[in-house]
Amino acid sequence: MFVHFITAITPNDSAKERTEIIQSFRQLNLKKHEMFVKQDEVCRYFCYIENGILQHAVDVEGDEKTTYIALKNTVTSSLYSFLHQTPSRKSIKALTDCVLWVIDLEHFIKLKANSNTFSQLYYGILEKQICLIDEYRIDLLTLTPEERYKKLLVSEPQLLQEVPLHYLAAFLGISSRHMSRIRKTIK
């Protein structure tokens, strides 16, 4: 799937550059609950999620707060930590067994400098993520919890089967109790 992802995003680019990109990544398997990065440690990789779900969370006075849920066929990282090699302000944990394709900073920098295809790919990914984050933040401010749940039902229905309720509730900005009430009224 990783090869298909790169090929689909770069269909008009040279096979040589695609091969260089693909060979710069390596497969990393995480078991359920295994950490991709721990809060206060440096994030070593930028990754493509071939299979599985990763939870981004912060520890606030001993309470885990979900900030993002990364799904298969997307990319993720604790980007600031990765790029600047500083301690991460968040943890990223596997909610399911995961198959990831990871690249370390050395190869990442080399590809950005030497591969126009990779630079365009990275730019496109960042642009898409910024738009998604912007939509998410606006939804938190403008939609009711019920509307956010309905939107999730339409846009990501598999999440309801794959992600435990308390993680989804946190992601939607509501309590687990409120989420249970919403699920009973909205099918």
**How far is 59 from 110, CA to CA, in rounded Å?**
33
The answer, yes or no, to whether residue 36 has pLDDT greater than 90, is: yes
Confidence band for 1, pLDDT divided at 50, 70 and 90: confident
Q: What is the assigned CATH class of domain 2-114?
A: mainly beta
The reported pLDDT for the residue numbered 187 is 67
**How far is 100 from 110, CA to CA, in rounded Å?**
20
The answer, yes or no, to whether residue 97 has pLDDT greater than 90, is: yes
The reported pLDDT for the residue numbered 5 is 80
Give pLDDT tens digits for 53-83. Answer: 999 999 989 988 888 889 888 899 999 999 9
Residue 35 DSSP class: E
Domain extents in the chain: 2-114
Mean pLDDT of 165-170: 86
* Contact residues for 58 (Cβ-Cβ < 8 A; gap 6+): 39, 64, 65, 67, 89, 90, 91
In the sheet with 74-76, reading across from the earlier edge strand, the strands are 26-30, 98-104, 45-51, 74-76
Give pLDDT tens digits for 130-142. Answer: 898 899 889 989 9
* For helices 165-172 and 145-155, angle between their N-to-C axes, nearest 10 degrees: 120
Mean pLDDT of 180-187: 84
